[in-house]
């Protein structure tokens, strides 16, 4: 007797190879929308699902709201009927593959917030049908796919690897990176069964340059956490170096640049005002939360988290000391932040250290303004502030602080116009001036 295992896997593989599979992407943000576009460009018809009606409407008008997806790329795909978006999960009945790219934030207690994954899976489960390939891309703790998600779909006698297929594939997108985008970043994928991995790899191969299959969903989940924990801990080390060098009167930037000339065994990481973004400050805590359940304390993660968390305080102390050296108290002084995005050349303030710095400056009585070509206004973390132009900000401030080293800033002009500058990014490398205080 022919088993249904072979049938579902074979039918789906044929549809994928013929690019006839109906592709679905749930969560149309920084990760989901670029993925929609890649698969549509590879010839698939892609349906995006999002709970936010404004995003759905924008996509259906062909308008992109994600920096890495130009409207000039999205619009023709929408007009050709290759991309459409909806907030109605009933479209799942007609889909063959579904990638889940919903948020996975931390709760205030640093516990994973799985509610977005659970909510989207509950909706998907209502319209689930045999033969579907389901791939989770949201960053999460090892075990999410097989412990949390699988039981929601393996119901009514349906068996994973036979009746449907499930994988985890970490998203490694680096918003604003001109060299690496969804298409050319190697894609790791691990399935719950070998058949799942095989189909997951086949699926990604249609649209992406390099696919890296691994033995299980847990390996794939852990890959992402290793990558981001590696970064977070090394940045923590660079920040600790900065704190030590500051005490000893050594220029930490010069130290790192010289160390980086070693052609092996060293990789430079740089200090800064603190961690930001949706990944590096958050993902390692997914791991430490999970390992705690297994009785292991993730000590490196906790320590790096502590040091990185001190950096906005250190920056504000630097600002205060720099002003005091100019016989000005921080209280009542005007402090102008250059850049509030969490990193260079992007339009995202999520978890940005600038938000902490604004709060800390506010509590110490400073008057805060900012300029950022990517962020016209901040409406986050209880802050409501509109950006002002660079020149006015620098000219009127008692102290200018470079928080984000956007390429668009006129650094020579900034130095000429400002009275005092605290540079947290070494953006003024090579410029010598008594006005400059470096991290």
Ligand X SMILES: NC(=O)c1ccc[n+]([C@@H]2O[C@H](COP(=O)([O-])OP(=O)(O)OC[C@H]3O[C@@H](n4cnc5c(N)ncnc54)[C@H](O)[C@@H]3O)[C@@H](O)[C@H]2O)c1
Chain residues binding ligand X by CB under 6 A are: 26-32, 49-52, 55, 101-104, 116, 119-120, 138-139, 171-173, 175, 278-279
Question: At closest approach, how far in Å is the CB of 40 from ligand X?
Answer: 17
Nearest C-alpha neighbor of 68 from the set 186, 208, 177: 177
Q: Is the Cβ of residue 34 or residue 271 nearer to ligand X in the bound state? A: 34
Strand duo 383-386 + 377-380: pairing:
antiparallel
Q: Which helix (H) or strand (E) holds 205?
A: helix 194-205
Cα-flanking dihedrals φ and ψ of residue 218, to 5°? Answer: -65, -40
Active-site residue numbers? 279
Length of the chain (residues): 439
We find the least distance from the C-beta atom of residue 67 to ligand X, in angstroms, to be 11
Q: Would you tell me how many other CB atoms lie within 10 Å of the CB of residue 179?
A: 7
Report how far residue 124's alpha carbon sits from residue 224's, in angstroms, rounded to the nearest whole number: 25
Closer residue to ligand X in complex, CB, 31/304: 31
Which is nearer to ligand X, 14 or 122 (by Cβ)? 122
- Residue nearer to ligand X on the CB measure, 126 or 262: 126
Dihedral of alpha carbons 240, 241, 244, 249, sign: negative
SS3 content of the chain, % helix, strand, coil (to 5): 45, 15, 40
To the nearest whole angstrom, how small is the minimum distance from the Cβ of residue 228 to ligand X?
A: 8
Shortest distance in whole angstroms from residue 340 CB to ligand X: 17
CB of 47 to ligand X, least distance (A): 12
* Per-residue CA distances from 429 to 35, 273, 321, 336 (Å): 37, 16, 21, 20
User: Tokens 């698939």 correspond to what residue?
Assistant: 44
Beta strands 421-423 and 399-402: pairing type? parallel
Shorter beta-carbon distance to ligand X: residue 138 or 206: 138
């Amino acid at each position: 007797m022919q088993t249904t295992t072979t049938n579902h896997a074979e039918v789906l593989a044929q549809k994928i190879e013929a690019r006839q599979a109906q592709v679905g992407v749930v969560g149309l943000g920084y990760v989901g929308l670029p993925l929609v576009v890649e698969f549509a460009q590879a010839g698939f018809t892609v349906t995006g699902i999002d709970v936010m009606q404004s995003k759905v409407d924008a996509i259906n008008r062909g308008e992109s709201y994600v920096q890495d997806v130009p409207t000039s790329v999205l619009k023709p795909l929408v007009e050709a009927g290759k991309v459409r978006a909806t907030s109605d999960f009933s479209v799942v009945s007609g889909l063959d593959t579904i990638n889940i790219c919903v948020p996975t934030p931390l709760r205030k207690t640093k516990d994973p917030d799985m509610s977005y994954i659970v909510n989207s899976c509950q909706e998907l489960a209502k319209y689930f049908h045999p033969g579907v390939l389901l791939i989770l891309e949201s960053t999460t703790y090892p075990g999410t796919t097989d412990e949390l998600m699988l039981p929601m779909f393996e119901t009514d006698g349906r068996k994973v690897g036979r009746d449907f297929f499930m994988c985890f594939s970490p998203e490694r997108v680096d918003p604003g990176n001109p060299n690496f985008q969804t298409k050319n970043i190697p894609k790791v994928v691990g399935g719950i069964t070998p058949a799942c991995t095989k189909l997951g790899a086949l699926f990604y191969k249609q649209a992406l340059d390099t696919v890296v299959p691994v033995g299980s969903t847990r390996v794939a989940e852990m890959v992402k956490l290793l990558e981001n924990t590696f970064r977070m801990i090394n940045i923590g080390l660079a920040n600790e170096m900065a704190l030590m060098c500051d005490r000893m009167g050594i220029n930490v930037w010069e130290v790192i640049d010289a160390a980086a000339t070693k052609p092996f065994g060293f990789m430079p990481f740089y200090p800064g005002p603190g961690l930001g973004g949706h990944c590096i400050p958050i993902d390692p805590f997914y791991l430490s939360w999970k390992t705690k359940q297994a009785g292991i304390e993730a000590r490196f993660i906790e320590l790096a988290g502590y040091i990185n968390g001190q950096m906005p305080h250190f920056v504000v102390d630097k600002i205060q000391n720099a002003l005091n050296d100019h016989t000005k108290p921080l209280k009542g002084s005007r402090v102008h932040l250059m850049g509030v995005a969490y990193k260079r050349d992007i339009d995202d303030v999520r978890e940005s250290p600038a938000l902490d710095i604004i709060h800390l400056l506010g509590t110490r009585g400073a008057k805060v303004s900012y300029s950022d070509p990517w962020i016209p206004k901040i409406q986050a973390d209880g802050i409501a502030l509109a950006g002002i132009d660079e020149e006015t900000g620098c000219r009127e401030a008692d102290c200018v602080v470079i928080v984000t080293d956007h390429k668009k800033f006129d650094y020579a002009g900034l130095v000429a116009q400002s009275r005092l500058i605290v540079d947290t990014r070494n953006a003024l490398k090579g410029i010598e001036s008594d006005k400059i205080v470096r991290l």
